[in-house]
Every structure is written in C-alpha cells, then in structure tokens.
A and B are shown apart, each in its own frame.
Chain A
Amino acid sequence: MTSLTRLDPVAVPLAQDPSTDISPAPAVPRPGVVATTLGAAIEVERLDHGRRRRLWVPRPLSRLLGVALALGAWQLASSTGSLSPTVVGSPRAVWNAAVHLISDGELGSALASSLHRVLLGLVFGLAAGIGLALVSGLSRIGEDIVDAPVQMLRTVPFVGLVPLLIVWLGVGETPKVVLIALAACFPIYLNLSGGIRSVDPALVEAGRTLGLSRLGIVRHVVLPSALPQLLVGLRLSLGIAWLALVFAEQISATSGLGYLMSTAQELLQTDTIVVCLVVYALLGLTVDLVVRALERLLLSWRPRAVGV
C-alpha cells in the first residue's frame, strides 16, 4: 500500500523548465554530399596550450615591476627638478617622513584611531545592510517596505550628509562612525538583496521536491547562491568605508589619519600627506587580499574562471 497525499496549491514561482527543450537531433551528413576537396591541402595549426599561459616573469614580480617603474619615474622627476618639492617631495623625502612618523609613534596612534572608527562603522553598516537585504530579499512584503526607501536613500551622496550629521550628532566620534556605517550599508545591501532575488528558480523547485522546508530552502539554496554577490558587496562596502573615513575625519577630528593629513596640509607638509595616502592604499590592498582569500575559501565549488 502506498500512502497518498492530496495536493493543495502552494505558491510556487512558475519557471520555464529547462527540460522542456527538445533534445537536438544529431547532425547526419547527407549522403551524396561528399567532400570534394578530399586530399586537398588545407591550413592547419599546432595548438600551443602550455606556452600561452606561461609568462616570462613570475606574476608577483611583474606586478611589482609597474610599481618600481612608477617610483623610478617619480625619483627621476624629483632629482631633475621638474617636480618641485613644494608640490611633492622625492620618494626619498617621503620615505624619511614615513620613518619619522613611525618612529615617533604619530602614525601608529593615528592608524589605531582610524582603524577603530572604520571597524565600528563597518560592524554597524554591514549588520544593517545584511539585515535589510535579508528582509527585503526573502519576503515580498519586506521588499515592498524596505527596498523603495533604501533605493531612494542610496541616491543621496553620503558626503552630503556631513553637515546634517554634525547638526544632529555634534563633532564627536558618533557622526564619524555613523557616516562610515551609512556608506558601507548600501553596497552590501544592493548586492545581497540582488543576489537573493536572482536565485535560480529551478534550484528552488528542486529544493522543494527534496522535501526542504521554507527555511531549509533559504539555508541550502537561496543563501549559498547569493554568497558570491554578498562577497562582491562586502568588497565594495569595505572600499567605500575607507573613503567615508577620509571624509569623516575632516569633521574636526583630533586623531586619525585624516587628522594627520589636515594638519600636514596646514603646515604644507606634502610628504606627510603622501605617507598617509600610501597607508590608505596599503590598507585597501590588505582588505582586498582578505576578501579574495575569503572568496577562494567560500567559493571553492565554483569552477575556476578561465583567464583570457
């Protein structure tokens, strides 16, 4: 005896089933159409798969080469005098400034307070972005309520909020953290909610036939399929958080990299400004490396991208 269920309609998004394709008939050569060029010479080529990939220098080295060339050009411009020290010092002068800033601890403490702000802002911003994206991606009513306002807010340039934040929150730490959080919130929201919405309906349907509950489908199908987009969003959010930091630290800060830069600006110390910019760049690079490692770790199921 078989146990039977009476089916009741359940809301399933209707998807065009890929299995409705007609299996293609194999191409059969028509008899009588015989190649007339049988035996004639045709052009051939030997495919050199191995050689195409190999570069004449290892990859990290070739990347450093670009940096070295730029540095060389900079040094050349400085020592020939075509780049005046009032515009920007030579690489050597910048290096000396860096050594000085590090040895007297100024750079270290500036970095610490900047990092503190960024981390705090990111925690709130990412949490809010992810939370909102889950609400709007996973339920129709959530989408109606959340998405429109967020899309509207997104078009406001966050830098334009600085005066308002100062009026509301003063000039302490709060407006800075809020600005960074706001900036970081949107990229992750947009990417995660977009990723959730673009889940393959065929896989959701498969999940249903496997007997997964709604929660099970979210956990095993929807969220993993949105993970690549989430990581893209994370990368963008981290990037924009640094940008927001620079702006935030222009709000009468008394510590941090931005503060270091604005005091250097008043004293016309371009070398210090350049050092700070380099630190920003290195931080951005580190973050990028971390996200890349995360991608390799979490997305190992994806077939390796084919390089062009």
Chain B
Amino acid sequence: MSATVKQATAVSLNGISRSFGDRGIIADLDLEIGAGEFVALLGASGCGKSTLLRIVAGLDAEVTGEVVVARRRAVSFQAPRLLPWKRVWRNVVLGVPGAGRAEALAALGEVMLEHRAGAWPATLSGGEAQRAALARALVRQPDLLLLDEPFGALDALTRITAQQLVADLWAKHAPAVLLVTHDVDEALRLADRALVMAEGRIVHDVAVSLPRPRTLESSGYVGLRRELLAQLGVTE
C-alpha cells in the first residue's frame, strides 16, 4: 500500500541501500529535495547515479530504506524510449487520462517540436527524440521531474539550446528536478544545488546561489566550477 501525505519535500530518502549481488552500490544514503527545487547529481561513471534515479522513480523493487517521493513524477531517460509504433503526439499523451491531440500539440510546442507531431519516432533526429521525451514528461505536469543525462547524446550547440529550454520550462512549471549529468557546467547553469555522489553516498552538497540566467561570466561561477571539479577528482 502507498500512504499519501502532503509535505514540502518532493523527495526524501532515508537510509536507503541497494546492492547488485554482493556489490553494494548505494549504502545508507539520505537525500532531501524540496518542492520546486532543481538539483543536479554528479559523480563518476558507475557510481550509482542512474540506480538512485530509478529508485526515486519507483522502478527499483529491491531497495531497502525509506523512500518518500512526489506522487506526480515523470522520467526522461538518456535513451528517449519512445514507443516506435505510436506517432510522436500519441507517445506524448500516452497514459494521461483525458488528454488528446490538443494537449500533445501544446506540450510539443513548448519544446518546439509541433511540426513533428505526426511523425513516427524512428524518423526523429536524436535531439528531436529527446525533446519529444521531454514533452512527454512535461505533459504530465509533474511535481518531480527526473532527468537521466537527457542531453547526453546531443552535440554541444543543441545541448545549450536544450539546457535553456529546460531552464525555461522549470521556471514556468516549477517542478522539483533531479538531473543526472556528467557536465559540471550543465549543473552550474541549471541547478539550485549540486550533489556529488561517491561510494554509495552523497559526499558533497553544494548550494549554487548564482543569479539566473547564468553564464561563465557570472561572478562566483568559476570558483564553484573549480570546487565541483575538485570534488570530482579533477584539478585544472
């Protein structure tokens, strides 16, 4: 049974652990994300970021510990995972009761993809497919948006546009966001808080209190960037 309560946190994880076989990947991890807060999750490859995201998404059956998350949540995976046999707009509103073409077109318009509404997913470019997946997440009006390297497959230029898009959509709809990324600049551009994960826990929790919109020239940016990189084991 899932008990429903109301509170001002979108995610609260209490002492959760997860292992694959005898390899502990997440060990006694705690995490709180406030409603409407934008949190970026960084960490070395294989440290368990996607595992954590799947736990928060409610897709992990074997996690131990207390997991309390927003009921209305939406996920966008690194691979867009569109259903190839449904046209783009049908993919967008699949599973949303009462939503039809109009709602799909509105959501696709927000990611500037209206003109591809009637296309088969197999004919989309990589960036278009990821934007479609984003529209599919947004149309659910989530209180919690989970993004697992959503721009991983994009080229540097498209990536900047897509980041701007996410920043705008977040400002407009104000969901809590957990963004898994490898890109320190992406974290600094978008997030209120940047988390660094290592050895199964959150080892650093850095508030990013720069005024928006943020650029490389924002004062304090370079310092934060160096700090995060150092915590990820990179020195410049």
Spell out A's residues near B (CB within 8 Å): 1-12, 14, 17-23, 202-203, 205-212, 216, 220-221, 224-225, 227, 300-303
- A276 to B121: give the CA distance in the assembly, Å: 47
Report which of B67, B74, B95, B96 forms a contact with A7, defined as CB distance below 8 A. B67
Interface 0/1 of B145-187, CB less than 8 Å to A: 0001100110000000000000000000000100000100000
Interface residues of B in 70-84 (CB under 8 A from A): 70-75, 77-79, 81, 83-84
**Does B231 make an interface contact (CB < 8 A)?**
no
- A105 to B27: give the CA distance in the assembly, Å: 82
Interface residues of B in 55-73 (CB under 8 A from A): 57-63, 66-73
Residue among B6, B68, B77 facing the most chain A CB atoms (10 A cut-off): B77
Do A210 and B85 have beta carbons less than 8 Å apart?
A: no
Spell out B's residues near A (CB within 8 Å): 1-10, 35, 45-46, 50, 54, 57-63, 66-75, 77-79, 81, 83-87, 94-96, 120-123, 136, 140, 143-144, 148-149, 152-153, 176, 182
Residue of A nearest to B73 (CB): A209
Residue of A nearest to B133 (CB): A206
Do A210 and B77 have beta carbons less than 8 Å apart?
A: no
A-B CB proximity, top 6 nearest: A19-B78, A210-B95, A206-B81, A5-B71, A9-B61, A224-B85
Shortest CB–CB separation between residue B14 and chain A, in angstroms?
Answer: 11
- A220 to B83: give the CA distance in the assembly, Å: 8
Shortest CB–CB separation between residue B45 and chain A, in angstroms?
Answer: 5
Report which of B57, B79, B123 forms a contact with A209, defined as CB distance below 8 A. B57
B-side contacts of A5, CB under 8 Å = 2-4, 58, 68-71
Do B1 and A19 have beta carbons less than 8 Å apart?
A: no
Do A3 and B71 have beta carbons less than 8 Å apart?
A: yes
Q: How many A-B residue pairs have CB under 8 A?
A: 143
Q: List 30 A-B contacts (CB under 8 A).
A: A3-B143, A4-B4, A4-B69, A5-B2, A6-B2, A6-B4, A6-B68, A7-B2, A7-B68, A9-B61, A11-B61, A12-B60, A14-B61, A17-B77, A19-B50, A19-B77, A19-B152, A22-B45, A23-B152, A202-B81, A206-B75, A207-B83, A209-B57, A209-B74, A210-B94, A210-B95, A211-B140, A224-B83, A225-B85, A301-B85
B-side contacts of A210, CB under 8 Å = 94-95, 136, 140
A-side contacts of B62, CB under 8 Å = 9, 14
Do A3 and B77 have beta carbons less than 8 Å apart?
A: no
